[in-house]
Amino acid sequence: MTDTRALDTRALATGAIDTEADRALKAKHRAMWALGDYPTLAAEIIADLGLALVRASAMRPGDRVLDVAAGAGNAAIPAALAGSRVVASDLTPELLEHGQRQAAARGAELEWHVADAEALPYADGEFDTVVSCVGVMFAPHHQVAADELVRVCRPGGTIALLSWTPSGFIGQMFATMKPFAPAPPPGAQPPPLWGTEDHVRTLLGDRVTDTTATREHLTVDHFGQPEEFRDYFKARYGPTIAVYRAIADDPEKVAALDRDLADLARRHDRGTTTTSMQWEYLLFTARKNP
């Protein structure tokens, strides 16, 4: 196990990451994901994604599985219930604590570790399957995180990733919030890039084989009106809450972001009596070279 001070020593050795800046950034990320109520959002809106990732990874009972940036266990808990020996790791302890309660209520047994996706505290080749469900995509240094995914997977093991696409609804939500958000720190890359097949192939490189990449859609019809989507995310989703806090002293910007987020949901609405949206994601699987 590790904490928010954990750093990838390989990246540090090459000077790719500034130690103090990285510690500050990880502390900021940890605090952001503790805002609001992401576990409830994950359970009410995107619960099906975890099971989709478990199925795509073709993990078997008894397999040693690592869920990276697991949050409250959206993929880790279904994997454990399917019989795998699961470790759920995440930077934010508050999410893991909620996940532990969910797992206990559902009768799932697994380990929960506070860990940085860019400095996983596990041995080389320790896991049969390494997965991440809209999680590792939020690690700021994509290549460092990808290197860790490959490192801890055994030769011949499976890496399975589910990420929001740039052109899909959540990718467009981040694009909508970007003009209102503080500038990202140097070197940090946009999360939705993980939803681009070419980007993921480049990150994993020739260290993997038997790759598959499919674009899928999650139907979201939880909200009666576009404004309900906006207010739900304003109250529960850490990245959205953080952007609103950054502009809290500017009522005009708050009103503009309110309008833009509702308009985004309205443009994606395919429903009649309720707001029904299709949220696109990339499901990517690969096998680590033997």
Asked if residue 170 is part of any domain, the answer here is yes
Residues 22, 24, 25, 30: is their CA dihedral positive or negative?
positive
Dist. CA 267–CA 166, nearest whole Å: 16
Model's pTM, two decimal places?
Answer: 0.92
Asked if residue 28 is part of any domain, the answer here is yes
pLDDT category, 54, cuts 50, 70, 90?
A: very high
Dist. CA 283–CA 160, nearest whole Å: 7
* Helix and strand counts by DSSP (H, E) for the chain: 12, 7
Asked if residue 235 is part of any domain, the answer here is no
CA-based R_g, the chain, Å = 18
The lowest-confidence range among 16-30, 56-70, 73-87, 141-155 is 16-30
pLDDT at position 272, please?
75
Asked if residue 45 is part of any domain, the answer here is yes
CA atoms within 13 A on the CB side of 234: 19
Residue 102, domain extent: 9-221+279-288
- In our burial notation (b when 16+ CB lie closer than 10 A, e otherwise), range 168-190 reads bbbbbbbebbeebbeeeeeeebb
* Total of domains in the chain: 1
Q: What is the mean pLDDT of residues 238-249?
A: 98
pLDDT at position 186, please?
87
Asked if residue 26 is part of any domain, the answer here is yes
Task: Say if residue 236's pLDDT is above 50.
Answer: yes
Q: What is the CATH number of the domain that holds 44?
A: 3.40.50.150
Dist. CA 41–CA 241, nearest whole Å: 13
